A and B are shown apart, each in its own frame.
Chain A
Amino acid sequence: MGRQYEIPVGAQHISLLEPLHFKFTTENEKIIRTDANVYYVHRGIEQACCSKFKFRQVSFVVGRVCGLCSISHTTAYSQVAEKLLKIDIPKRAKYLRMLVIELDRIHSHLLCLSHVAENSGFEALFMKTMQYREFSMELLEAVCGNRIQYDFSIVGGVARDLKPEMGQLILQRLKNFMPQLEELVGIYQHNRTLSLKNKGVGVLSKDDAMRLNVVGPLARAAGLAVDVRNETEDLLPWKEVGFEMITDTAGDVHARNMIRLREIYISIRIIQNIINGLPESALVTETKAFPDGEGTVRLEAPRGELFYYAKGNKTQVLERLKIKAPTFSNVAGMVHAFTGNEYGSAAAIIASYDPCLSCTAR
């Protein structure tokens, strides 16, 4: 038995650009125990949403929970508010919500992949992935008005329409992106250096993923077929626009990379189907009702299941709003999957989890 060392990583760390703190206990370079805490940036957004803002304003507030998956938060909140208001939204608004969610998923997955490359010591691939990601940011800005934190979903529908020429621009840019995506898949799948750093590293088994209630690409890479888009058809018709579940079995960093890359193909297909079959209708369902009763909504954000609980009391201000971010569900699995790995692999493993503490600490 070797000497044991405790190594802190975070809350400010070169390989962990999130306010999350891990304390690794290592023995002969192997991680034998991990402790974590997330107590650095709690912002009290839930409390603000139930005291300082009216329920229609809350969709703009929760859009600030996260810069990366802002559309997931505004959509999930809008959906739960619409449940409490007992309204259905126009079909065109549903399609436009799905379009922005999938554009957002493309940029989020590419960002995660670039961080994995960087934390694996492959800076050229980091730069290439970030360069190729730029088109998705430009499209989001064109569609929503902002590169991040787009207030696109509002209670009752969406805030902006998609003009036909904008739809054609998106299709053209996606077509231009396809060879770049093929190139990235080739590198992430076959590059020897990256394989040495990613294959067999940070393995989370299917049984552990299930036992620890892991969500998102982390779960699907372990073989656990969980995706909210596969389960809820009542709020957004995912299967109608070509959703398909992607899973792997290896459960390692490499498998998470490949899951994200393969999901980008699905996102592209969904966006193409949405634009080619965009129904004509109004954008918003108007109502003068106030939220009443309680309800929940689950939505597949880029990192996995996002959960909103809201309780209304027939006034302008909500009684309670609860947000559960995907990373929150993955904390237990993340802590578990470090054990047995070399400390030197920790940076790549962390990046492959794609943690978002902005969402988690909200």
Chain B
Amino acid sequence: MKKIETNLADLKKDIGAFYKPELHHFIVMNAVQSGDKMEVQWFFNDYAYPGETTCFYALISPEEEVPGIKDIVASAWVAEAELVDLMNIKVENTMKGFVLEPDFESGPLLKKK
């Protein structure tokens, strides 16, 4: 797995420069708690053999809003909606209520303090 660090300001530029639909397959988004920060990850795979996985990641604070990449990766709205529900991450133009019911407890996958 190749990890590429980015930040919220450069995220869309970095992923936009990298992602080509005919060459890359968007796998999913993920988030991992890292102290008071959250490491948000975007996984891609190369269609060509041997299929290398590339992970863009950005360390964010809980109150920061992550830019959506739906305009770059058309199917990313599903992964973004899941992170909003399960990890209580704010994602641009994404509402709660896709994976969990809208009145469900926020961020059930967050570690309890």
Q: Which residues of A contact B (CB under 8 A)?
A: 37-39, 42, 44, 46-47, 50-51, 210-215, 226, 228, 230-234, 294-296, 298, 305, 307, 309, 311, 319-320, 322, 324, 328-329, 331-333, 361
Partner of B98, one of A37, A234, A298: A37
A361 and B111 alpha carbons, distance in the complex (Å): 19
Name the distance in Å between B107's Cβ and chain A's nearest Cβ: 10
What residue in chain B is nearest A305 (Cβ atoms)?
B27
Whether B16 is near chain A, meaning CB under 8 Å from some CB there, is no
Q: Please give the residue numbers on chain B whose beta carbons come within 8 Å of chain A beta carbons, in ascending order.
A: 1, 21-22, 25-28, 30, 32-33, 41, 43, 45, 47, 49-51, 53, 55, 73-75, 77-79, 82, 85-86, 97-101, 104, 108-109, 111
CA distance A88 to B21 in the complex (A): 34
**Once the chains are docked, how many angstroms separate the CA of A324 from the CA of B86?**
13
With A47-B109, A309-B43 already in contact, the answer to whether A39 and B97 are too (CB < 8 A) is yes
| A-B contact list, 18 entries, CB within 8 Å | A37-B98, A50-B111, A51-B111, A211-B75, A213-B25, A215-B25, A230-B49, A231-B49, A231-B50, A232-B51, A295-B1, A296-B55, A298-B27, A305-B27, A320-B32, A331-B75, A331-B78, A333-B75
Complex alpha-carbon distance, A251 and B75, angstroms? 18
Please pick, from B30, B77, B97, B100, the residue contacting A322 in the complex, using a CB distance under 8 A: B30
Residue of B whose beta carbon sits closest to that of A207 = B21
Q: Given contacts A332-B77, A332-B78, is CB(A232)–CB(B98) below 8 Å?
A: no
Indicate if the CB atoms of A296 and B53 lie closer than 8 Å: yes
A84 to B74, CA, bound (A): 32
B33 to chain A: closest residue by CB? A320
Known A38-B99, A42-B100; judge A211-B30 contact (CB<8 A): no
Q: Are A307 and B28 in contact (CB under 8 A)?
A: yes
Which residues of B have CB within 8 Å of A322?
Answer: 28, 30
Query: If the complex has contacts A39-B99, A231-B49, are A44 and B108 also in contact, measured as CB distance less than 8 A?
Result: yes
For B53, list chain A residues within 8 Å (CB): 296, 298
The answer for the CA separation of A296 and B44 in the assembled complex, in Å, is 11
Residue in contact with B74 in the complex, picked from A46, A51, A332, CB distance below 8 Å: A332
Bound together, the chains give a CA A319 to CA B82 distance in angstroms of 19
- Whole-angstrom CA separation of A214 from B77 in the bound complex: 14
Determine if A213 and B43 form an interchain contact, defined as CB atoms under 8 angstroms apart. no
Q: How far is the CB of A84 from chain B (nearest CB, A)?
A: 12
> How far is B82's CA from A90's CA once the two chains are assembled, in angstroms?
37
Tell me whether A42 and B99 are in contact in the complex, defined as CB-CB below 8 angstroms, given that A47-B108, A47-B109, A213-B75 are known contacts.
yes
Contact A213 B50 (CB under 8 A): no
B50 → A minimal CB distance (Å): 6
The reply to whether A213 and B26 contact each other, CB–CB distance below 8 Å, is: yes
Residues of B within 8 A of A44 (CB): 108-109
Q: Which residues of A have CB within 8 Å of B30?
A: 309, 320, 322
Closest to B78 in A: A331
Residues of the B chain whose Cβ atoms lie less than 8 Å from the Cβ of A296: 1, 43, 53, 55
Residues in B neighbouring A324, C-beta threshold 8 A = 27-28
Q: Report the bound CA distance from A214 to B75 in whole Å.
A: 9
> What residues of A have a CB within 8 angstroms of the CB of B79 in the complex?
328
Query: Given A38-B98, A39-B101, A213-B73 in contact, is the A329-B51 Cβ separation under 8 Å?
Result: no
**Chain A residues with CB below 8 A from B111, complex form:** 50-51
Q: How far is the CA of A307 from the CA of B51 in the complex (A)?
A: 13
Determine the distance from Cα of A38 to Cα of B41 in the docked complex, in whole angstroms: 22
Most buried by B among A44, A214, A298: A298
